[in-house]
Amino acid sequence: MRSASTSLLRLLAFSVVFSGCGGDPVAGGGATETGNGLTCRILTDSGKGAARAKVVFVRTDTWLGDVERDGSPQTFGAQADSAGFVRLARLPVGRWAIQADRVGMQGWKQLADGDSVVDTLKLSRRTLVQGMVGGDPVDRIWMIGTAWSSSVGDGGRYVLEKAAGSYSLVGSSRAPLVALASGVSGVGDSKTVDLVARRRAVVLDDFQDGGKNTTLHAFTGIGNWYLAKDALSRVYSAYDSTGPDYRGALSMQYILKDSTSFVVAGVSFVDADGYHELDLSALDSFCFEARGNGNIEVHFQEILKSDKVERSVSVLVGGLDTLWRRRCLKPSEFGNGWDSLRTNTTDISFSPSGGNRMELRQIEFWGPPLLDLSIH
């Protein structure tokens, strides 16, 4: 089994200052542009011009909100010419992706920002992601950042045709969007991915990827891990985490030099455009599983510059031992200061004290919809 925690700690060790700027724009990040011109050539998998390919432009900086409120993203169509070129004198305001289809081949990419965009999009054999959807009712599956979707049949079955590459799937119904799964599909793949829709829970991280991006990042474009510590404290890679109850976690061994020393593993909601505030007005509880041999102080903070904390509230979670135990923190446990952070949290962190081991897994928000945790 791959140790997600070892990979994560290795990344964190090189990321003492907040990292992860320039996150995935598919889920809705980035500054909007006005009136970009575009020339894009659509190519077949053999590199020839994809004559008359069907093209759809999809707005990505408002994608989640558009699908949740209107039932579909903002799109407009075009068609490649006989040499595979698509030319636009002016793109509408916003950030846009281009997707194309031609005789069993598909392609997708996020377009760059700029006054004049010149690009190419190479198609490849389409891939299928299919399976069953369980849990809360969902009537349609969407791939974030695209116009590709699949209806969900009466038995819960879906079949989504898409371009090869990474994907993040959400489910829609009359209720808010539900984050379902993210992954990668290869050229010509037919993957079976069974999904479980949980309408009230949004996973911050399940540590399956072992990278600095959180699970949430795949759906919202923000949420990256960082490690901060004082100069004298030390942090080591994960201890043995291959037991039968291990499903992916942030694992660390640490040595705190003295009572003034600190180690902080945190998630910063920041990208190339700066810090983004989460709307936690609907938060019922913040839950995670933990084990170790010390205590954990959980902080919710507003940080607008990397060197300045504007507001901060915290709860001390004690009683850690060798067993995984689920802890759920209510907003009321953070005290009166919570009101000042309900709609402007930009950072969540975990700081151990005492002992020398801390492990966290399956970190979840209960209550707020996915849209409230995203770049709107």
β-bridge partners, 291: 359
What pLDDT sits at residue 70?
92
Q: Tell me: do 352 and 283 sit in the same domain.
A: yes
CATH code: domain of residue 109 = 2.60.40.10
- For 266-302, how does the pLDDT look when each residue is reduced to its tens digit (9 = 90+)? 999 998 888 999 999 999 999 999 999 999 999 999 9
CATH code: domain of residue 172 = 2.60.40.1120
Q: Tell me: do 283 and 339 sit in the same domain.
A: yes
- Among 140, 168, 200, which residue terminates a domain? 200
What pLDDT sits at residue 186?
94
Q: Tell me: do 46 and 111 sit in the same domain.
A: yes
Specify if 170 maps to a domain.
yes
What pLDDT sits at residue 25?
35
What pLDDT sits at residue 13?
36
Specify if 290 maps to a domain.
yes
User: What DSSP string describes 142-195?
Assistant: EETTSS-EEE--TTSEEEEEE-SEEEEEEEESSS--EEEEEEEE-TT-EEE--E
What pLDDT sits at residue 244?
56
What pLDDT sits at residue 4?
40
Structurally, how many domains does the chain consist of? 3
Q: Tell me: do 144 and 100 sit in the same domain.
A: no
Coil, helix or strand for 95?
coil
pLDDT band at 115 (very low <50, low <70, confident <90, very high): low
What pLDDT sits at residue 376?
64
Q: Tell me: do 229 and 351 sit in the same domain.
A: yes
What pLDDT sits at residue 6?
40
> Whole-angstrom Cα distance, residue 235 to residue 254?
4
Q: Tell me: do 18 and 33 sit in the same domain.
A: no
CB 99 within 8 A of CB 49: no
Mean pLDDT, residues 123-142 taken together? 96
> Whole-angstrom Cα distance, residue 6 to residue 274?
28
Q: Tell me: do 287 and 322 sit in the same domain.
A: yes
Specify if 106 maps to a domain.
yes
Q: Which of 57-66, 229-238, 347-356 has the lowest mean pLDDT?
A: 229-238
Look at residues 253, 166, 206, 201 and name the one whose alpha carbon lies nearest to residue 369: 201
- For 310-333, how does the pLDDT look when each residue is reduced to its tens digit (9 = 90+)? 999 999 999 899 999 999 999 999
What pLDDT sits at residue 3?
41
pLDDT band at 237 (very low <50, low <70, confident <90, very high): low
298 phi/psi in degrees, rounded to 5:
-100, 120
Q: Which domain holds residue 330?
A: 4-23+222-373
CATH code: domain of residue 312 = 2.60.120.430
Classify residue 213 by its DSSP letter.
B
Q: Tell me: do 17 and 48 sit in the same domain.
A: no
Residue type, 182: S
Specify if 210 maps to a domain.
no
Specify if 32 maps to a domain.
yes
What pLDDT sits at residue 273?
85
Q: Tell me: do 237 and 327 sit in the same domain.
A: yes
pLDDT band at 370 (very low <50, low <70, confident <90, very high): very high
Specify if 215 maps to a domain.
no
Q: What percent of the chain has pLDDT over 70?
A: 86
Q: Tell me: do 177 and 52 sit in the same domain.
A: no
Specify if 169 maps to a domain.
yes
pLDDT band at 241 (very low <50, low <70, confident <90, very high): low
Q: Tell me: do 141 and 238 sit in the same domain.
A: no
User: What DSSP string describes 259-297?
Assistant: TT--EEEEEE-EETTEE--B--TT--EEEEEEEESSEEE
Place of tokens 């709609």: 343
> Whole-angstrom Cα distance, residue 220 to residue 315?
26
Q: What mean pLDDT, rounded, does the chain reach?
A: 87
Specify if 212 maps to a domain.
no
Give the other-Cβ count within 10 Å of 48's Cβ.
Answer: 10
CB 16 within 8 A of CB 231: no
Helix (H) or strand (E) holding 11: helix 4-13
Q: Tell me: do 334 and 239 sit in the same domain.
A: yes
